[in-house]
Structure 1
Amino acid sequence: MIPSAARQGGANATACQSQSTNASVIPWAPQAACNTICSTVTPCDAQNITTATITGRGANPTRDPPAAQGQQIAVASYINPLSDPAAWDRLIQYDAHKMPILVANVVDGPGSAVDVHWQDVIQRAADANKTVLGYVRTGYLGISDQKFQTRLGLGGLADWAAQIEEDVDMWYALYGDRIGGIFFDEGWPNCGDENEHVNLYKYINAYTKRAHPGAYTVLNPGSPMAACFEDSMDTLLTFEQGYNAYLNHYVPNNWTPQDPRKLWHIVYNVTESAIGDVLTLANERGAGFLQLTNDDLPNPYDTLPEDSYVQSMLNAIRGGSLLIADAVDWGSGGAAGGVADLTVVSSDDTSATLSWTAATNAQGYYVYMDDRLVASIPSSMTEITIGSLVSGSRFTGYVCAVGEGGKEGSASNQVTVITKSLVPDGQTVIQA
């Protein structure tokens, strides 16, 4: 889901990049007793549209689900509340049992200060028992062909992890417990060598839930995902294309979740008369969350369909509840050793790069500046760039490894980080 025009089509591009250049067959068996579904995946065309030929349909794994697992509407509500307050009034008023999730996106994330218009709708939505998710970019972890970079102009996994965690914490710092969780956009759908990529998403998910208990998390690649992702977030958004693609070119995951609330599908360019058919098809495909709209590209998320359209959706579904997992416990494996050889690799006016030697039994690392936790990264990473530092300032940094049970090992040596001062002509100077 790409709100910026400069990144339109990113999710579809991700689906294409995950395919082989040769056609392949993906078997899908929703249940052991089901017929096999085979999707022939062909190379993407110039518009990066995923295509598939469905050769069969298995039994519906979510037929007659428990009341909590009924279909629900989740809305990526990228409508500016200042420009269309009436749309937000409607979103807030709709039945929270059937439309429980609204995504808030101030400016590709939380921004750096409270926006009073967003603050108003977030608070009113939370008071109406809606779960408001803060939008956070993950930039396909810098891996996709677009090679997205962080705000600091960096593209490494640790760099993206640091920015993602910073944005997560900023949503809660600005809007408090009215934020019910995080919508992680631009998700990379491949596991990575030795599960490196999915493990990073799992680490970010655990960080979010530990730092903000009760947080509901969604990861959105907008394309099919490998089975390794099933437990990476509470819900996975695995389809984000138009009506024709959903009917004729749908590519399923090669696994089926135990609970339909694991999957969310977004289908745009759907007429009101086709709502029932799409909801039925989504149910057969095991998607517990849906967003349908009659809007279309280039941005199908900047308007809310008329009330009759939304009521048609609400009248056709049962509603349910969210499925929110607790944070995964830190594993066993012994106490973490001390971190050694912490050094300042470089710094500028607002950021600094730190590097250190790996500690024994480390399951992750906590990075501190002036005794404040500023980043948490997996044990596979031993270098990170910290941003959002005050220019012309001194900071004392240190790193602790996290071991069995989440206990921190002894702190590393301390280092002094000196950020450069900005002067009126735009040049920088280093404080003596």
Structure 2
Amino acid sequence: MLIHRARAARLGLHRRAAAALAAVTAVLVAAAFLAPATAQAQSTTVQHVGVPAYFNPNASPGSTYWTQLDQSAPNGGVAIANPNSGPGTAFDQGYANAIQAATSAGIKVIGYVDTGYFGTTGRTTRGGSTTSAAWTTQVEGDIANWYSWYGSYGLGGIFFDDAQNVCGTNNAYVNLYIAVNTYTKQNHAGALTADNPGAVADQCYAQAADILVMFEGTYASYSTWTAPAWELNANNPSAFWNLVYDTPTQADMESAIARSKQNDVGYVYVTSDNLPNPWDTLPASAYWNDEISQAGAGSSGGGGGTSPTAPTNLQAANVTSTSLTLSWTASTDSAGVSSYAVYAGGSAVATTNGSTTSVALNNLSPSTAYSFTVKATGAEGVVSAASAPLTVTTQAASGGGGTSCTTSAGSGALTSLTACKYSTYEYFQATFNTTTSLHHVFINTDANTATGYQLPSPSTSKLGADYMLENNTLYRSACGCWGWSAVSGVNPQMTVSGNTYTWTVPLSALSSPAATEQAEFNANTSYSSPLTFGQS
């Protein structure tokens, strides 16, 4: 985990161990750095310098460090902004100016968000709770604040700190990180995400973010550290980041950079700074300039080398009421194309590998116009411009019987409630009369209140929610507790008119829904009465 500005003196166990071993291992450092990390490692030709920029741009020396960062572009790659272990409590014009200047110079700035291990180690939220649900709410609120305050200034993504590194029983831990990663990308197209367990993570975390920080520690510790086999075999350096502090000399820094290349790491930062906060300065100019040169960092936005050409000739085929197939002409790049991402209305809905130029999209809504684009990512991590947009309207629903809608006037925070079931999709609508960042619909699809999430008090019904709509994301219950997995490839088509929110969910996205279902709306601590609805 990166050191919090607010608790810089508090160290993780791996840091205390590293500090204790530093004197013992110092004599081994020079020899260890000369040895190859592993026979399987690939020597990366392009790296990106990723800096935890935990210095205040509103005063010297922080403002000087931000200028130093800007002047390293285009070789400098990524910077983490951290006003106060997160976005802080209010907009800060100084940070806005720093983010804008760095972005203009070619640095991708991502915002710090503390995940607190989602409470799995007993860490409490700012409100004093240890539950994963409370942590999820805080994390999503911090993401929303980052983009609300700094999105227009060029904020480029989110850095999730204090991350778990084990999958958890039935992937319970990693699913929490996958969910907030999905939340970020669905609400902020093009966001770069990073998870920081500060230690080797299980392979399941490869799906939890774009980048994983697999090492954070001292130069002495790094001398004997080798990336795990699954990272080396991935042959995808742009997915991994190493952070090395207490690296005294420029020669030591060069050795650390060389070892990071042996470990097939695409993002790296080495500094002479040390605990209690090794991220509150930048190295002296000679050291820094040499680091930029040694890393061979790439161009704007955390990518190195040239940008792939934009995909062309985007076409749709096999269009039905709930599905279609997209195809496009391949991009070109001197280093090759590693992947494509498909976007619907700015939200990523599918990815393919670099050799696949078509994708089938399911769980769409009938009679709905979608605007699709495709972007390519080159082998060096650079993302192309988007293809020309293609607008496709799905066919109208047909057959399958009539419709049953249930309405309720509701009361207080939640009024004008509607739940409907059509032949191919379900429809929900409510007016939210209170300020909330999270708009929920809980759905019991199997007509069994004993399965799925049991709603807490003050709900008058346990419900047994098998699915949850949270803003524009559909989740499936993973247990009777607060444990959810995002349903991939589904866009619930949330629309907003004033305080009235409407969702359309394809039936194909729900697993064997019963003829009669129940739905309950939620805003903060307010819950509606359950609405029973079904298809006639």
Q: So what's the TM-score if we normalise by structure 1?
A: 0.71
Question: 2: distance between equivalents of 1:244 and 1:120?
Answer: 37
Verify: 1:345 aligned to 2:452, yes or no. Answer: no
| 8 Å Cα contact 1:260/1:287 also seen in 2 | yes
* CA–CA separation in structure 2 for the residues paired with 1:232 and 1:332: 23
- Post-superposition Cα deviations, 1:122-174, rounded to whole Å, max 9, x if no partner, equal 11111112111010000011112xx1111121111222111111111110001
Partners of 2:266 and 2:106 lie apart in 1 by 19
- Distance change (3 Å), C-alpha of 1:45 and 1:71: closer
SS across alignment from 2:290: helix
> CA distance change for structure 1 residues 328 and 268 in 2, over 3 Å: closer, same or farther?
farther
**RMSD over aligned Cα atoms:** 4.0
Which of 206, 212, 215 aligns to 1:236? It is 212
1:134 alignment partner, one of 75, 97, 111: 111
Q: 1:214 is matched with which residue?
A: 190
Residue 105 of structure 1 is matched in structure 2 by 82
Cross-structure match for 1:366: 469
The yes-or-no answer on 1:357 pairing with 2:357 is no
Q: Which amino acid aligns with 2:469?
A: Y
Decide which structure has the larger Cα Rg and report it.
Answer: 2
Work out whether 1:253 is the aligned partner of 2:228.
yes
C-alpha change, 1:165 and 1:356, in structure 2 (3 Å) is farther
The C-alpha deviation readout for 1:97-123, integer Å capped at 9, x for no partner, is: x21101111111112321111111011
Deviation at 1:93, TM superposition (A): 1.6
Asked if structure 2 preserves the Cα contact closer than 8 Å seen for 1:158 and 1:383, the reply is no
Identical counterparts, % of pairs = 28
Indicate the residue corresponding to 1:167 in structure 2.
142
Amino acid paired to 1:345:
S
The 8 Å contact of residues 397 and 417 in structure 1, kept in 2 or not, is answered as no
Instruction: Give the whole-Å Cα distance in 2 for the aligned partners of 1:374 and 1:111.
Output: 25
Using a 3 Å threshold, how does the CA distance of structure 1 residues 404 and 176 change in structure 2: closer, same or farther? farther
Contact 1:398 1:411 in 2 (8 A): no
Is 2:272 the partner of 1:272? no
Equivalent in 95, 106, 128 of residue 153 of structure 1: 128
Match of 2:180 among 204, 221, 229: 204
Residue 244 of structure 1 and its aligned partner are, at CA, apart by 0.6
Per-residue CA deviation, residues 335-391 of structure 1 (Å, 9 max, x unaligned), is 679725996725xxxxxx89853445x3xx234xxxxx499765336777xxxxxxx
Cα distance in 2, alignment partners of residues 171 and 355 from structure 1: 35
Q: Alignment partner of 2:243: what SS?
A: strand
Structure with a larger share of its residues in strand: 2
What number of residue pairs does the alignment pair up? 358
Residues 199 and 416 of structure 1: CA distance in aligned 2, closer, same or farther (over 3 Å): closer
Corresponding residue of 1:59: 39
The SS at the match of 2:86 is coil
**Structure 2: tracts of 5 or more residues without a match:** 304-338, 342-347, 351-360, 365-423, 428-441, 483-498, 527-536
Deviation at 1:258, TM superposition (A): 2.5
Summarize the Cα distance change of 1:328–1:222 in structure 2 as closer, same or farther, 3 Å threshold: farther
Code of the aligned partner of 1:109? G
What is the TM-score normalised by the length of structure 2?
A: 0.58
Q: What residue ranges of structure 1 are gaps of 5+ in the alignment?
A: 17-43, 347-352, 368-372, 385-395, 420-432
Give the Å deviation of 1:331. 7.9
Highest RCO, 1 vs 2 (Cα 8 Å, sep ≥ 6): 1
